[in-house]
Each structure stands twice: as C-alpha cells, then as structure tokens.
Structure 1
Amino acid sequence: MFRSMNSPALSVFASLVAGTAVLSSPALAQSGMNTTNLQSEAVLEGLENPWDMAFRDDGTMLFTEKCKGLSVRMPDGTINALYGVGETAGYASNGSDLFCEGQAGMMGVAFDPDFADNRRIYVYSTSNMSDPHTNRLMRFTVNDDFTGVSDRTDIIDDVPYKMAASNHPFGGPGAHNGGRVRFSADGALWLTTGDTHNGQVPQSPTMMGSKIIRIDTDGNAHPDNSPPDGFDSRIFTYGHRNVQGIAFHPETGQAIAAEHGPWHSDEITILENGGNAGWDPRPNMAGRGDCPDDYCGYSPNQEDGMNRYERAAWMPMTDFDTYPDAMPPIWNNNGWSQGMSSAAFLEGDAWGDWNGAMVVGIMGIGFGGTPIGQRIDVIQFNDENTDVEDVTEMTLPMDTGRFRSVVMGPDGSLYTAIDEGTIYKLTPGG
C-alpha cells in the first residue's frame, strides 16, 4: 500500500512546514533540481475559458471552451468548431440541452485509444435534459476530415449538478463538478467529479458526485473496481471534494488525483481501488455544529479568525478521525488552498531531471478571488514512487494565469490552458 509523507495527523506535517511555507513558494525543498529553461509559444489566443485539451500523435488537438463548446486545431493550424454549448453560433452542430453556469459547462475531453479505428471521442458537459440538471459524459464519432461530430451517446448521465445558490455563504449554481476525462494505459476510461456543495454527496454510495469513476467506453463499470458493498460499481474512489486532476504514473500505472481544498490543503493522493478520500462536510461529524445549508465545507469561515491549520483541524480535507483508513495525501500544498487543477507527467529526455515528474496546474485562488500563487508545480517522487521527494515551481517564460489544464503533447512539449483565454506550449531547452 502506498503511504503518505503526511501522517494521518495532518497537523503534524503542518507544524513542520508552518515556519517556512510561503504563499508564493510552495516547494518542499529547492535541492538543485534541474529547472529546465523553457520556451513558450501561444498556440491559441482569444479563447473563452479554455478548459481542457487532448492530442493525437500527429498534433491534432481537441480543446473545450466552457461556455462555447468543442473545437479541434488541425496540425496545419486550422480551427474547426465541432459541437457548441446550447445555441452558440459557428459550430457544425450544437447540443441544445448543454449550458454553462458558474463553474459548470463543457469541461474534460479525451480521444479514444482506438480512435484510428473507431473515430470516437469523449466530452464531459453540463446538461438541462433532466430536472434536476446533471453533468454528462458524452461519446461522439468524428467524421474523417474533422469538420463535425455525430452519434452522441451519453454514457454517464447522472453526475449531480448544483441547481441553485444555497444558503451557505460561498458558491452559486454550478459549483464543484470535477470534470477531468482521461484514459489509462490499459484502456480504462476515468472521470472525476465534485461535491456540488452538497454535504450528503461525498460519502454517498449512489450519488456520483465526489467520486472518481472508472468505466469502459460504453459506460459500464470496470470489472476490477472494488468499491464497498452497496456502492455503485462504477466507483473507483469516493469521498473527494472537487477533483480536477488525474494522471497515471508512467512506471507504476497508479492513478493519482489532484483536488481543490476548502480553506486549506489542496491534495495530491495516490488512489487505492475502493478507497475513501475522507471528505465529509456534513454537520455534527466529529462534534461539528450546524452549518449553512447543512454543508460545513467552508466552516469556520475566514471571519472566525482561524488560520489554515486551525480550520484544517475543525474541517479536515481528509478526516482521519472519522475514517482512519482513508487514503492519505502525499502532498497538501503546504496547507494552502489555491485551486489545484489538472495533472500530467512530463515525458522525454529533454526535460532533464524532470523527465517522469508530475506537474500540476494551480489557478491561484485567494480570498475574494485575488490571484495568488498562479503557477505550475513539478512534483518529483522518491525511488519507490510512493512519496513526494521534491516540489519545484516552474520558472515560466510568459505571463501566468489560472492554469486550468496541463497536458503533454506528442511533440514532447507541455501544453497548458489558462482561464484568461490562451493555450500555451512550453518546450524545454533553448
């Protein structure tokens, strides 16, 4: 079993770093690692909230814009708008039931590993086809010249959506949907989801929010999933808050999640089949009192005067007191919550010491929406691939932003989408 550099008592780890953690410098150590010189290129500009990308070996790139839709950038730079959100103009076809609101809209995207034979792709988006609305994982067939899609099939249609602003003081409709879609090397299809500000969702055996789902390409549960008795068989792990990052270790194949913390503790966790991530924001757990709208996820709030460690003790991201067997995080962003989003592994000798290291995009969310700590972190594992050995902030050759997605391209470059509207290509060397 993979264990954590953070002991189950989160406060022990927090006390070790409390004297040295700085909001803009999250590294565990700066131990002379190769901070590879990077060149940057703006591949696409002027987008509206680009959310995710997916690549073919020839450089063909699918990309989503949260409130607009799915498009493709061809190897020659041509852009084809394939499938629009709602009535968005200019797309080859549209999903009339799709919409965007708050954090919700069109999110993750992936090519089928057998795309050359079946022309299939997968897109996660928000739909009003049912009431209450849901998030859906859709499968499409792309035509031969990448000018349109057809055969929409909703292979998952029951991921919860937050319908209306609740009584707690933060977050309106559309909050906390997760949204990353990825394939592992064995051909399994993975989807990450969020808690939608509903205290009942994370530990629910049947609500598909706050889960990491592992299925086949028809939406059936992976045969090796082993959730607890009574749980939906599509569930690989549960008890998450809002997972927007999942990547697979290039040596072990282990699934690794990156997720947003509340007032504290973004987390990276090596996942265990059937595991509980330990997020349970219900009232009256471990002595909690009432919370707004029965959701303790932001309690106590910043006006209560608690620092992040005190808040972590009151409302832990991973509640080991209640769930002693919960999956331990291997890194918690030094106790900060800054909007950890996508994750990927760097590949190629050109990355030097970082070849095989994990990268995570951090959107840099501060109180009141202030952009603090927007960056990409490089996470290096120990020789056993069980723990974090070093964390280094990339020195970036372009303006930073809310790093929503990081994806390795077939050319060995790291592509990153920022909410402000640009997809960059980062290439080592120069």
Structure 2
Amino acid sequence: MPHFYLIKSIRQGSGRLITAAACHNLMLAWAIFGWLFFGGIGAIGMVTPAISAPLIQQIGAPLSHPWGMDFLDKRQLFVTERDGNLFLVDLLTGDRKTIGNLPAVSANRQGGLLDVAVKAPAGMISGNISGTDSSDDAATIYLCYSLQIGNETVTAIDRAGFDGNNLTDRTTIFRANNPTRNAIHYGCRIVLDETYLYASLGERGDRHDAQAPSLHAGAIIRLFHDGSTPPDNPRLDGWAPELWTKGHRNPQGLAINPSNGEIWAHEHGPRGGDEINIIEAGHNYGWPKVSHGKEYIGGSIGSGTSAPGLSDPVWVWTPSIAPSGMTFYQGEMFPYLNGHLLVGSLKFERLYLVIIENGRPVRESVMLDGAIGRVRDVAVAFDGSVLLLSDEGKGGLYRIAEAGQ
C-alpha cells in the first residue's frame, strides 16, 4: 500500500511555519495525494479537488507530554499534561492559563492526567476561530486519569463545572474496580454524545482480566453525563453494570461517526495487531482469546485471529503503529477529507488518514511523517483546521491549516 508523506519536518518554536521551499514540496505532495485518493483511482467518485499547500504551526509554548484536548468554545481549547496540569489555550494567540482544582494523579509510567472532554454550552457554532460563543458557566468538564489508592492505581473519571479559572464542584463519577500496581494500559479516552459518556479502559497489563465479566478491565463503559448508569446497559451474565463492551487490550482512541452515531475505537495490540473496532453493545472484541498480534517474545496469542462469538476488527495494523487519538474529519477547510478518519501514531510519529467507504475502512495513507514527534491526540477545530498533540518532553499543540487561514 503506498504512503504519501505530506509533511516531513518543520521548524520548531511557537508560531513558526514551515519554510517556503518546504511549502512548495508540501504543495506538490498534497496535490499528488488528492489526485491519487480522490481523483485518479476513482476512490469515492470525486474529481481531484483544488488543493493548496497546508501549513503546520505550533500554537503557544511547548508542552510536557500533552495527552488529551477538547474545546470549551471555538477559540479556546483545554489541553492536559500527563504530569497533572490542565491548560486553557487561546487558539488565536497561543496564550494559555493554568486551571486550578484538579485531582491528584499518579503520573508514573503510562499514568497521569490523561483525557479531557467537554459537554459544551449551548450556542457553540462552527466558523472562524476569531470568535468564541463562550459560556463558561454552562460547560461541564470531564477528566480521565490514574488515581492512586494505596500502592495501586485505577482509572478514574471526574466531572466538574468551570468558572473561567478553576474547576468547580468537582466529583469523581467513576472508579474502575480493578486496582493494580501495574502502571500501564489505562485506556482513558472519553467521548460524549447527546445523552451518554463513553470511556475506554485498558486491561492494565493483566490480559485475562479483559475477559472477566465483573471487572472494568479491558472495556468500554457507558454512563449518563451525570455519572449514573443507564438501565439498558447490556448487563450480560455477571457483567458489571457500567460495561458496554469487553475484550479490549488498551484502547486509546474513541470517536463518534457523524454519519450514523456509531462509536469507533482503536486499541494497541501486542507485537502487531493494533485494531479499529466498531463498538456495539454487549460485544466481546476478543482480547486475549484472539489477536492479530504476537507475543513480544514470539509465538501466537490465543486461538488465532477470529473465533465464534467474538467481534472482529474492521481494520488491523501489522506491524503496530501504536495508535493514539482518533477523529472523523468534518469541516470546510479540507472538504475532500470529510467523513474519513484521522489517527495518530506514537511509534512512527505519524498522522494517518483512513479512507472510509460504505461505512468501513478500505485503505490508509500517511498524512504527516516525523514532523512533530509522537502524535498523541488529534482533533478538528471549528474552522476545519486539524489540531495535533505531540507527546514529547518538549511537545506541543500544532495546527494544520490552509495557507492564509
């Protein structure tokens, strides 16, 4: 499968754009990409769009291992740092403020302050980021993080209001019931639809817990926005009431398909076998009974790649890309990307485009390669630009936009 490396490298530093020469090469590569995917091969019945060179820009000062982001309004973005910081970033100026009244987190190995999600105030509309349409006191903020309990940690979710500077009335609405000393595989992605909160939970390195029906390990959970449990959750034999699905390893990407409301998740495999799954209530996605990956020391895992009663992935990466962060593109800036999937890669420091046809992935391309380091999260701003988080000690928030936008 061909890859089209659209952005190879950029100059570092707040507000610095790629050079004119690099921009020329980027324009050519972007045009080739558009022709191959949307014109020359007739992928989805589109003619080649008029494509100008996108620019990538760092917004504001560097960040230390940023992990998650979500919008307060169309100009302001919450960003987490794994060490336990939450910032509100002005996308236009790069200025940021530190938010107070956060939970204490266990920032060891893969743990820390991980995802943030916002139940947006009414009136938020898409458009140029020069406006705000903000109503701080109407927003509800959700944080997913690793919580220390004695010598062990669990994945936890807090819910809070926001007064413009601090979280208010913060309360813990969920604590996973599988505490362990393993500081890995927290999952910890959150998405919200109009009614429910969905969150991903890793199996914390205890693979067989992903099949234990009473444990939250290796699962997607579904809650109401207030943290209560919906009465129509699957509640299969012995399942904990919060469970929506089981059989996951370490899912760090969740997205809602805007065309039909489906929940999509991706997860880390072992050595190979990273997956994208379409999440359906009561389904078991197989880990560790089946896997497309191998043991790190060699050898197969489980009984193969598929088995009766277990749901198969719709996309597999072998070798692993270490996926993190995922969103469906919706926007006016790059209309030829609408309805397709953007996925970050930690291992290869890339942004992948996964082409969707008839509701399923059919092929992929590399849209960004090695430009900003490990891509931890991806989002689409209200003006259609693409935002990325670079998970590095001197990482940052980056924006991909058309020239002049």
TM-score by length of 2: 0.78
Aligned twin of 2:314: 330
Flag the 1:395–1:58 CA change in 2: closer, same or farther, 3 A: closer
Given that residues 362 and 403 in structure 1 are in contact (C-alpha distance below 8 angstroms), is that contact kept between their aligned partners in structure 2? Answer: yes
SS at match of 2:208: coil
Q: Which amino acid aligns with 2:230?
A: H
Given that residues 159 and 172 in structure 2 are in contact (C-alpha distance below 8 angstroms), is that contact kept between their aligned partners in structure 1? Answer: yes
Flag the 1:135–1:301 CA change in 2: closer, same or farther, 3 A: closer
SS at match of 1:325: coil
Q: State how far apart, in whole Å, the 1-side matches of 2:282 and 2:402 are.
A: 38
Aligned twin of 2:385: 413
Aligned twin of 2:361: 388
Given that residues 72 and 120 in structure 2 are in contact (C-alpha distance below 8 angstroms), is that contact kept between their aligned partners in structure 1? Answer: no
- In structure 2, which of residues 153, 170, 188 is the aligned counterpart of residue 152 of structure 1? 170
Identity %: 25
Q: State how far apart, in whole Å, the 1-side matches of 2:296 and 2:153 are.
A: 29
Q: Which amino acid aligns with 1:175?
A: I
Q: State how far apart, in whole Å, the 2-side matches of 1:55 and 1:65 are.
A: 16
Q: Which amino acid aligns with 2:336?
A: D
CA shift, 1:45, in A, is 3.4
Aligned twin of 1:7: none
CA shift, 1:64, in A, is 0.2
Q: State how far apart, in whole Å, the 1-side matches of 2:54 and 2:235 are.
A: 42
SS at match of 2:333: helix
Residue 206 (structure 2) pairs with residue 198 (structure 1): yes
Between structures 1 and 2, the one with greater strand share: 2
- In structure 2, which of residues 272, 286, 289 is the aligned counterpart of residue 264 of structure 1? 272
Q: State how far apart, in whole Å, the 2-side matches of 1:239 and 1:263 are.
A: 17
Given that residues 345 and 358 in structure 1 are in contact (C-alpha distance below 8 angstroms), is that contact kept between their aligned partners in structure 2? Answer: yes
Q: State how far apart, in whole Å, the 1-side matches of 2:2 and 2:351 are.
A: 17
- In structure 1, which of residues 168, 173, 182 is the aligned counterpart of residue 191 of structure 2? 182
CA shift, 1:133, in A, is 2.5
Given that residues 357 and 381 in structure 1 are in contact (C-alpha distance below 8 angstroms), is that contact kept between their aligned partners in structure 2? Answer: yes
Alignment of 1:24-43 (within 5 A): 32-34=36-38, 37-43=53-59
Aligned twin of 1:102: 109
Alignment gaps of 5+ in structure 2:
7-32, 39-48, 123-134
CA shift, 1:414, in A, is 1.1
CA shift, 1:427, in A, is 1.4
Residue 337 (structure 2) pairs with residue 359 (structure 1): no
Q: Which amino acid aligns with 2:78?
A: L
SS at match of 1:201: helix
Alignment of 1:14-413 (within 5 A): 32-34=36-38, 37-74=53-90, 76-82=93-99, 92-95=100-103, 97-114=104-121, 116=135, 118-129=138-149, 132-143=152-163, 146-158=164-176, 160-163=178-181, 173-184=182-193, 186-280=194-288, 300-302=295-297, 304=298, 311=299, 314-315=300-301, 319-321=305-307, 324-333=308-317, 335-364=318-347, 373-382=348-357, 384-385=358-359, 387-395=360-368, 399-413=371-385
CA shift, 1:319, in A, is 4.8
Q: 1:311-349, CA deviations, whole angstroms, 9 ceiling, x for partnerless residues? A: 4xx21598523xx1222111102x221211111011123
Given that residues 389 and 396 in structure 2 are in contact (C-alpha distance below 8 angstroms), is that contact kept between their aligned partners in structure 1? Answer: yes
Flag the 1:233–1:194 CA change in 2: closer, same or farther, 3 A: same
Q: State how far apart, in whole Å, the 2-side matches of 1:298 and 1:330 are.
A: 15
SS at match of 1:246: strand
Given that residues 272 and 293 in structure 2 are in contact (C-alpha distance below 8 angstroms), is that contact kept between their aligned partners in structure 1? Answer: no
Tell me: higher relative CO, structure 1 or 2? Use CA pairs within 8 A at least 6 residues apart. Answer: 1
CA shift, 1:390, in A, is 2.5
Q: 1:34-69, CA deviations, whole angstroms, 9 ceiling, x for partnerless residues? A: 595321110133211000110133311111000132
Q: State how far apart, in whole Å, the 1-side matches of 2:385 and 2:177 are.
A: 33
Q: State how far apart, in whole Å, the 2-side matches of 1:234 and 1:300 are.
A: 30
Q: State how far apart, in whole Å, the 1-side matches of 2:304 and 2:236 are.
A: 18
Given that residues 349 and 371 in structure 2 are in contact (C-alpha distance below 8 angstroms), is that contact kept between their aligned partners in structure 1? Answer: no
Aligned twin of 2:16: none
Flag the 1:33–1:218 CA change in 2: closer, same or farther, 3 A: same
Given that residues 162 and 197 in structure 1 are in contact (C-alpha distance below 8 angstroms), is that contact kept between their aligned partners in structure 2? Answer: no
CA shift, 1:257, in A, is 0.6
Q: Which amino acid aligns with 2:213?
A: P
SS at match of 1:394: strand
For these two proteins, the number of residue pairs brought into alignment is 348
Given that residues 354 and 364 in structure 2 are in contact (C-alpha distance below 8 angstroms), is that contact kept between their aligned partners in structure 1? Answer: yes
Q: Which amino acid aligns with 1:332?
A: V
SS at match of 1:32: helix
> Bigger shift: 68-77 or 227-236?
68-77
Residue 383 (structure 2) pairs with residue 422 (structure 1): no
CA shift, 1:136, in A, is 0.8
Aligned twin of 1:6: none
Q: State how far apart, in whole Å, the 2-side matches of 1:235 and 1:343 are.
A: 22
Given that residues 162 and 175 in structure 1 are in contact (C-alpha distance below 8 angstroms), is that contact kept between their aligned partners in structure 2? Answer: no
SS at match of 1:405: strand
Flag the 1:219–1:297 CA change in 2: closer, same or farther, 3 A: farther
CA shift, 1:159, in A, is 5.2
Moved over 4 A (4+): 114-117, 296-299, 316-319
TM-score by length of 1: 0.74
Given that residues 270 and 295 in structure 2 are in contact (C-alpha distance below 8 angstroms), is that contact kept between their aligned partners in structure 1? Answer: no
CA shift, 1:151, in A, is 1.3
Alignment gaps of 5+ in structure 1:
1-19, 83-91, 164-172, 287-295, 305-310, 365-372
Given that residues 331 and 383 in structure 2 are in contact (C-alpha distance below 8 angstroms), is that contact kept between their aligned partners in structure 1? Answer: no
Given that residues 350 and 429 in structure 1 are in contact (C-alpha distance below 8 angstroms), is that contact kept between their aligned partners in structure 2? Answer: no
